[in-house]
C-alpha cells in the first residue's frame, strides 16, 4: 500500500498537469480559467477517481485562500479601507439580513422549521472571497470603485462569519450566548489592532535588514513565515486563516519592498489558487447534483436576485451611486466556503439532512459558474435599468447620494470633530492593545504550564511572565491616560464655550474630570488584570506583594515610561504616514504599468489634474470628443483615492479629477492643453475680485453698537457683506468665533469691498 506522502505527490502531479491543460483550453475558448480548474477537479475525482486523497488536496487549497488574501492585503491599504469602511459595513449588514429572510422563505417552501430557515439563510449569506477576488484580478478591475467596495464587503463578511456562527449555535440551543459573542468581538478587535500595530513597528525594520542582505531566498522565507504564521495564529485565536494572511499583507503594504515581495509571492498565489479551485471540483458529485437540479436551480436564481437587491440597497443607503451599488451586487453571487461549515453544523444539530449539503454544493457550483457572466453583463444591465427607470426614482437616488456625500465631506473636513475623534480613537486602540496583552499573557501562561521540562521552576516562570506583561502594560495604560486628558480638554473646549473665557475655571474642570476618568480607568484595568491573574495564579501574599512592587516601580519610573510611550507612538505615526505615501506611489506606478501593458503598440501615458475653473469640468467625454480632436484617449480617472477604468462616453469629468491619457507624445500634449484650458473670463473675474476686496483695521470707540454683541448676533457677513478676520484685545489675538463678544477698544481686522467696509464703519461708529 502506498504511503500518504506518495499519494499526495501523485495527486499533485495529476492536478498540476490537468490544470495546465485546462488553462490552455479555457483560454482558447475565452472562458474564465477558474471554471477550468473546477471542471478539472470534477473530472479527476468524482468521474475518473484519479485523486486518492481529496482531504489533503482541500487542505492544500486553503493555502490558495491565504495567498489571495495576502495579495489583497498588500493592495488594499489603510487609506482605501477608511474610504469604503462604512459602505462595506452597511452593505454587508443589509445583505446578510436579506439572505436570512430568503432562508426563511426557502424553509417555508421546503417544510423546514424556522430555525432551519435561519441556518439556511446563514449558509447563503457569506460570499466566496477567493472566487470574487480572482475574477476581479483576472479582469484587472481591482482599482474600480465597485471592486474596492466589494473587497471591503468580503473582508467584513470574513470578520462577521465568526459572530454569525456563534449566534446560530446560540439560537439553535434556545439561548444566544451574548457573553461569548461579546468575547469574540473583543478578542477579534484586539487581535487585529495588536498584530497591525506591532507589525508596523517591527516588520519595516526587518525588511530593511533583509534588503541590505540582498538575498531573495531570505525574503521569500520571511514572507512565507509571516503569511503562514499569522494565519495559524488567527486560526488558534478562533478566527480564519484568511484574516491572518490579510493582516500580513496589510502590514507589508506601503513598505519600500512591497512590490518586490508581491512579485516573489505571485507564483505561490497562482499555484495554490489553482489547487483551491480544483479542490472545490473534487467535492462536486455530478450525479447527486443532477438528481436535485430543480431545487438547486430555483434556490440559486432566488439567492442571486435577493443578494443583488439587498447588496444594492445597502450600498445605496451608505451613500454610493446606484450604478456602483448595482455592479457591487452583481459580483457578489457565489457563496463561499463558510456555507459548508454552516451546512455541516445544521446537520449535526439535527436541523438538516444530507440533501442540504448536496444543495449547498450545487448552489455553490452554479453560482461560481454564473458569476463571470453576471459580471460581464452587469455594465449593460446597469445602463438598461438606468434607461427604463422613472425620472423621479433616478432623481431620488441622485439627491440622496449628493446629500450623504456632502454630509460625510463636511464631517471629514470639520476641524472641531477631527480634534476630538483623534484622541478618542487612540483611547480605543490603547484599550484593545491592553486586551490583546491580557489574552497573550493567558496564552503564555497555558503554554508554560504545559512545558514539563521546566520542572520545579514552572510556577516561577509563570509568575515572571506575568511580571513582564505588567511592565509592558505600563506604557499602554500611560498612553490611554494621556489621551483621556486631551479628549476631556477638547470636549469642554467644543461644548462648554463659556469656559473659554475663564481659563482658570476651565483648567480646574478639565483636571477634575480627566482625573476622575483616569482613576476609573486605572481601577478598571487593575480589576481586569487581577481577575486574569487570579484565574491563572493563586493570589497569595507573595503575588499581591509582587504586584504592588511592580506598580510602585512603574510609579518611580513614570517619566521613562512616558518617554517610551511617546517614542513608540511617534514611530508608529511616522511609519504609517510613510507607508501610506509609498502605497499611493506604488498604486500609481502599477496603474501606469498596467495601462502601458494593455496596448500592443508604443504609447505614452500622461496625467492631467482638472482645475476648478477648467472648461471641461462637469462635461461628458462625448461632448469633448477628445479622441477626435487630439488622437489621445482617456483610459482612467483617479477620483478621491480610487481609480476607475470603466470609462465610456457618458463619463463626466469633475474638478479635482486626475485624468489619465494614453496616446502618442504629440496627441497627449494636445489633450493636456484642451483639458487644462480655463474658462475664458476666469482671469478677468479673478482680477476684479482681487481689486474689489480690501482689508481694513478698525477700533471700537465708546458708544459703538457693536460693544457687548456677538458675531453670531450681528451676522456681519450676511447683513453687511463684511468678514471679520481677527480681533485684537490688548496683547491678545482672539479667533473670531460665533460667540465672541466685542469689548470697548477692541481692534477688528475685517475684509470686504470698499463700499461695504465704509458702510460697516459708519453703521457701528468705528475709528
| E strand residue ranges, 370-442 | none
Mean pLDDT of all residues in 342-370: 80
Torsion of CA 65, 71, 72, 77, to 10 degrees: 150
CA distances from 401 to 441, 619, 641 (A): 47, 19, 18
Q: What whole-number distance in Å separates Cα of residue 100 and Cα of residue 117? A: 8
Does residue 160 lie in a domain region?
A: yes
By DSSP bridging, strand 633-639 and strand 642-644 are antiparallel
For the sheet containing 633-639, what is the strand order?
604-609, 658-663, 633-639, 642-644
Residues 522 and 661 in one domain: no
Per the DSSP assignment, residues forming a β-bridge with 662 are 605, 633
Is the sign of the CA dihedral 25, 29, 35, 38 positive or negative?
negative
pLDDT higher at 529 or 152? 152
Residue 699 DSSP label:
E
Residues 6+ away with beta carbon under 8 Å from 720:
752, 756, 759, 760, 763
Among 27-31, 96-100, 116-120, 705-709, the range of highest mean pLDDT: 96-100
Q: What whole-number distance in Å separates Cα of residue 565 and Cα of residue 550? A: 18
92-112: per-residue pLDDT in tens?
Answer: 889 989 988 998 898 888 888
Residues 383 and 430 in one domain: no
Q: What whole-number distance in Å separates Cα of residue 19 and Cα of residue 39? A: 9
Residues 605 and 520 in one domain: no
CA distances from 468 to 175, 441, 757 (A): 40, 9, 68
Residues 6+ away with beta carbon under 8 Å from 764:
700, 704, 705, 706
Backbone φ and ψ for 207, nearest 5 degrees, come out as -65, -35
What one-character-per-residue DSSP string does 45-105 give? IIIT---S-HHHHHHHHHHHHHHHHHHHHHHS-HHHHHHHHHHHHHHHHHHHHHHHHHHHH
Residues 6+ away with beta carbon under 8 Å from 566:
none
Per-residue model confidence (pLDDT) at position 298:
92
Residues 6+ away with beta carbon under 8 Å from 570:
none
Q: What whole-number distance in Å separates Cα of residue 675 and Cα of residue 661? A: 11
Q: What whole-number distance in Å separates Cα of residue 194 and Cα of residue 187? A: 10
Mean pLDDT of the chain: 76
- First and final C-alpha spacing in the chain: 106
Q: What whole-number distance in Å separates Cα of residue 62 and Cα of residue 4? A: 19
CATH code of the domain covering residue 324: 1.20.1530.20
Residues 119 and 250 in one domain: yes
459-515: per-residue pLDDT in tens?
Answer: 777 777 777 777 777 777 777 777 777 777 777 666 655 555 666 666 676 677 777
Q: What whole-number distance in Å separates Cα of residue 338 and Cα of residue 161? A: 7
Residues 25 and 112 in one domain: yes
pLDDT higher at 237 or 230? 230
Residues 6+ away with beta carbon under 8 Å from 284:
38, 41, 42, 46, 361, 362, 365
Residues 143 and 46 in one domain: yes
Q: What whole-number distance in Å separates Cα of residue 492 and Cα of residue 333? A: 49
Residues 175 and 233 in one domain: yes
Structurally, how many domains does the chain consist of? Answer: 4
With bands split at pLDDT 50, 70 and 90, how would you rate the model's confidence at 686? very low
Burial 252-265 (b: 16+ CB within 10 A, else e): bbbbebbeebbebb
Q: What whole-number distance in Å separates Cα of residue 722 and Cα of residue 758? A: 10
H or E, element range at 608: strand 604-609
Residues 701 and 670 in one domain: no
CB 441 within 8 A of CB 472: no
Per-residue model confidence (pLDDT) at position 537:
60
237-293: per-residue pLDDT in tens?
Answer: 777 777 788 888 888 887 777 778 888 888 888 888 888 888 877 877 788 788 888
Residues 389 and 433 in one domain: no
CB 488 within 8 A of CB 517: yes
Boundary (domain end) residue, out of 628, 648, 679 = 679
Residues 6+ away with beta carbon under 8 Å from 568:
201, 475
Phi-psi label, residue 619: left if phi above 0, alpha if psi -120 to 50, beta otherwise: beta
Per-residue model confidence (pLDDT) at position 584:
56
Backbone φ and ψ for 638, nearest 5 degrees, come out as -95, 120
Burial 405-417 (b: 16+ CB within 10 A, else e): eeeeeeeeeeeee
Does residue 571 lie in a domain region?
A: no
Mean pLDDT of all residues in 318-331: 85
Q: What whole-number distance in Å separates Cα of residue 553 and Cα of residue 364? A: 59
Mean pLDDT of all residues in 449-460: 73
Is residue 80 pLDDT above 80, yes or no? no
Among 61-75, 207-221, 296-310, the range of highest mean pLDDT: 296-310
Of 125, 127, 100, nearest to 114 (Cα)? 100
Query: Percent of the chain having pLDDT more than 70?
Result: 76
SS3 695: strand
The region of weakest confidence among 359-368, 418-427, 537-546, 705-714 is: 537-546
Residues 117 and 60 in one domain: yes
Boundary (domain end) residue, out of 679, 704, 723 = 679
Does residue 409 lie in a domain region?
A: no
Is residue 119 pLDDT above 60, yes or no? yes
Per the DSSP assignment, residues forming a β-bridge with 741 are 710
Q: What whole-number distance in Å separates Cα of residue 420 and Cα of residue 490? A: 6
With bands split at pLDDT 50, 70 and 90, how would you rate the model's confidence at 682? very low
CB 327 within 8 A of CB 379: yes
Residue 280 DSSP label:
H
Does residue 589 lie in a domain region?
A: no
Does residue 588 lie in a domain region?
A: no
Per-residue model confidence (pLDDT) at position 301:
92
Boundary (domain end) residue, out of 502, 535, 556 = 556
Per-residue model confidence (pLDDT) at position 379:
84
Residues 674 and 696 in one domain: no
Residues 261 and 137 in one domain: yes
For residue 346, the enclosing domain spans 4-394
CATH code of the domain covering residue 652: 3.30.70.1450
Mean pLDDT of all residues in 592-616: 66
Residues 6+ away with beta carbon under 8 Å from 141:
147, 645, 646
Residue with cell 478539472: 40
Q: What whole-number distance in Å separates Cα of residue 548 and Cα of residue 556? A: 12
Does residue 446 lie in a domain region?
A: yes
Per the DSSP assignment, residues forming a β-bridge with 607 are 660
Q: What whole-number distance in Å separates Cα of residue 258 and Cα of residue 582? A: 9
Residues in the chain: 767
Does residue 578 lie in a domain region?
A: no
Q: What whole-number distance in Å separates Cα of residue 328 and Cα of residue 538? A: 55
Tell me how far the alpha carbon of residue 207 is from its chain's centroid: 24
Name the pTM for this structure.
0.64
Q: What whole-number distance in Å separates Cα of residue 310 and Cα of residue 307? A: 5
Mean pLDDT of all residues in 376-403: 81
Mean pLDDT of all residues in 611-620: 77
573-596: per-residue pLDDT in tens?
Answer: 666 666 655 655 556 556 555 555
Mean pLDDT of all residues in 333-358: 76
CA distances from 79 to 223, 250, 258, 416, 577 (A): 23, 11, 16, 21, 10
325-343: per-residue pLDDT in tens?
Answer: 888 888 888 887 677 777 7
With bands split at pLDDT 50, 70 and 90, how would you rate the model's confidence at 685? very low
Q: CB neighbours (10 Å) of residue 675?
A: 24
Is residue 205 pLDDT above 70, yes or no? yes
Residues 6+ away with beta carbon under 8 Å from 127:
153, 154, 157, 307, 332, 333, 334, 335, 336
Tell me how far the alpha carbon of residue 597 is from its chain's centroid: 29
Does residue 592 lie in a domain region?
A: no
Is residue 84 pLDDT above 60, yes or no? yes
Mean pLDDT of all residues in 170-191: 70
Of 477, 506, 478, 476, nearest to 491 (Cα)? 506
CB 218 within 8 A of CB 210: yes
Residue 44 DSSP label:
I
Of 361, 367, 359, nearest to 306 (Cα)? 367
With bands split at pLDDT 50, 70 and 90, how would you rate the model's confidence at 416? low
Residue with cell 484595568: 525
Amino acid at each position: 500500500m502506498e504511503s500518504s506522502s506518495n499519494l499526495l505527490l501523485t495527486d499533485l502531479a495529476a492536478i498540476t498537469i490537468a490544470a495546465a491543460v485546462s488553462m490552455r483550453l479555457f483560454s482558447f475558448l475565452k472562458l474564465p480559467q477558474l471554471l477550468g480548474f473546477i471542471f478539472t477537479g470534477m473530472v479527476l475525482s468524482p468521474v475518473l477517481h484519479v485523486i486518492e486523497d481529496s482531504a489533503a488536496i482541500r487542505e492544500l487549497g486553503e493555502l490558495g485562500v491565504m495567498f489571495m488574501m495576502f495579495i489583497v492585503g498588500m493592495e488594499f491599504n489603510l487609506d482605501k479601507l477608511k474610504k469604503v469602511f462604512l459602505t462595506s459595513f452597511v452593505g454587508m449588514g443589509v445583505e446578510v439580513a436579506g439572505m436570512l429572510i430568503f432562508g426563511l422563505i426557502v424553509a417555508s417552501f421546503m417544510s423546514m422549521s424556522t430555525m432551519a430557515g435561519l441556518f439556511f439563510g446563514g449558509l447563503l449569506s457569506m460570499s466566496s472571497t477567493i472566487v470574487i477576488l480572482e475574477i476581479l484580478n483576472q479582469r484587472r478591475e481591482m482599482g474600480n470603485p465597485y471592486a474596492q467596495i466589494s473587497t471591503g464587503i468580503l473582508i467584513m463578511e470574513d470578520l462577521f462569519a465568526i459572530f454569525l456562527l456563534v449566534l446560530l449555535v446560540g439560537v439553535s440551543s434556545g439561548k444566544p450566548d451574548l457573553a461569548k459573542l461579546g468575547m469574540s468581538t473583543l478578542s477579534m478587535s484586539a487581535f487585529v489592532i495588536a498584530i497591525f500595530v506591532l507589525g508596523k513597528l517591527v516588520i519595516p525594520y526587518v525588511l530593511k535588514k533583509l534588503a541590505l542582505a540582498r538575498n531573495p531566498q531570505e525574503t521569500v522565507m520571511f514572507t512565507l513565515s509571516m503569511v503562514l504564521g499569522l494565519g495559524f495564529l488567527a486560526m488558534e485565536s478562533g478566527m480564519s486563516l484568511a484574516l491572518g494572511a490579510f493582516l500580513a499583507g496589510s502590514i507589508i503594504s506601503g513598505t519600500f519592498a512591497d512590490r518586490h515581495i508581491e512579485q516573489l509571492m505571485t507564483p505561490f498565489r497562482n499555484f495554490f489558487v489553482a489547487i483551491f479551485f480544483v479542490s472545490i471540483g473534487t467535492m462536486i458529485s455530478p450525479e447527486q447534483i443532477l438528481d436535485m437540479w430543480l431545487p438547486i436551480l430555483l434556490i440559486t436564481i432566488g439567492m442571486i436576485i435577493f443578494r443583488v437587491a439587498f447588496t444594492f440597497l445597502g450600498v445605496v443607503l451608505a451613500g454610493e451611486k446606484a450604478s456602483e451599488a448595482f455592479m457591487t451586487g452583481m459580483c457578489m453571487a457565489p457563496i463561499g466556503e463558510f456555507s459548508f461549515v454552516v451546512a455541516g453544523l445544521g446537520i449535526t444539530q439535527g436541523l438538516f439532512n444530507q440533501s442540504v449539503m448536496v444543495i449547498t454544493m450545487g448552489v455553490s457550483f452554479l453560482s461560481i459558474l454564473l458569476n463571470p457572466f453576471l459580471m460581464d453583463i452587469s455594465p449593460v444591465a446597469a445602463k438598461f435599468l438606468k434607461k427604463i427607470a422613472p425620472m423621479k426614482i433616478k432623481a431620488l437616488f441622485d439627491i440622496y447620494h449628493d446629500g450623504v456625500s456632502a454630509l460625510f465631506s463636511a464631517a471629514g473636513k470639520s476641524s472641531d470633530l477631527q480634534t476630538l475623534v483623534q484622541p478618542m480613537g487612540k483611547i480605543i486602540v490603547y484599550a484593545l492593545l491592553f486586551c490583546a496583552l491580557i489574552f497573550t499573557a493567558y496564552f503564555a501562561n497555558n503554554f508554560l504550564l504545559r512545558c514539563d521540562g521546566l520542572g520545579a521552576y514552572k510556577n516561577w516562570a509563570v509568575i515572571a511572565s506575568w511580571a513582564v506583561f505588567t511592565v509592558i502594560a505600563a506604557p499602554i495604560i500611560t498612553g490611554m491616560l494621556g489621551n483621556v486628558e486631551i479628549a476631556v480638554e477638547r470636549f469642554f473646549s467644543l461644548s462648554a464655550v463659556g469656559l473659554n473665557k475663564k481659563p482658570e475655571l476651565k483648567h480646574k474642570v478639565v483636571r477634575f474630570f480627566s482625573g476622575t476618568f483616569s482613576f476609573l480607568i486605572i481601577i478598571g484595568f487593575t480589576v481586569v488584570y487581577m481577575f486574569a491573574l487570579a484565574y491563572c495564579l493563586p493570589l497569595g501574599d507573595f503575588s499581591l506583594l509582587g504586584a504592588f512592587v511592580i506598580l510602585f516601580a512603574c510609579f518611580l519610573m513614570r517619566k521613562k515610561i512616558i518617554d517610551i510611550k511617546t517614542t513608540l507612538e511617534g514611530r508608529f505615526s511616522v511609519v504609517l504616514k510613510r507607508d501610506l505615501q509609498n502605497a499611493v506611489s506604488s498604486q500609481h506606478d502599477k496603474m501606469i504599468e498596467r495601462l502601458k501593458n494593455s496596448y500592443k503598440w508604443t504609447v505614452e501615458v500622461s496625467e492631467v489634474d482638472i482645475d476648478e475653473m477648467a472648461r471641461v469640468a462637469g462635461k461628458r467625454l462625448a461632448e469633448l470628443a477628445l479622441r477626435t480632436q487630439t488622437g489621445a484617449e482617456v483610459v482612467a480617472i483617479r477620483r478621491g483615492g480610487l481609480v476607475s477604468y470603466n470609462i465610456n462616453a457618458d463619463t463626466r469629468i469633475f474638478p479635482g479629477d486626475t485624468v489619465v491619457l494614453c496616446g502618442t507624445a504629440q496627441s497627449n500634449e494636445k489633450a493636456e492643453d484642451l483639458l487644462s484650458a480655463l474658462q475664458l473670463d476666469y482671469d478677468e473675474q479673478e482680477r476684479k475680485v482681487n481689486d474689489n476686496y480690501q482689508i481694513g483695521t478698525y477700533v471700537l470707540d465708546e458708544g459703538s453698537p457693536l460693544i457687548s454683541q456677538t458675531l453670531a448676533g450681528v451676522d456681519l457677513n450676511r447683513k453687511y457683506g463684511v468678514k471679520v478676520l481677527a480681533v485684537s484685545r490688548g496683547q491678545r489675538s482672539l479667533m473670531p468665533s460665533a460667540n465672541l463678544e466685542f469689548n470697548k477698544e477692541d481692534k477688528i481686522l475685517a475684509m470686504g469691498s470698499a463700499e461695504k467696509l465704509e458702510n460697516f464703519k459708519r453703521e457701528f461708529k468705528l475709528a
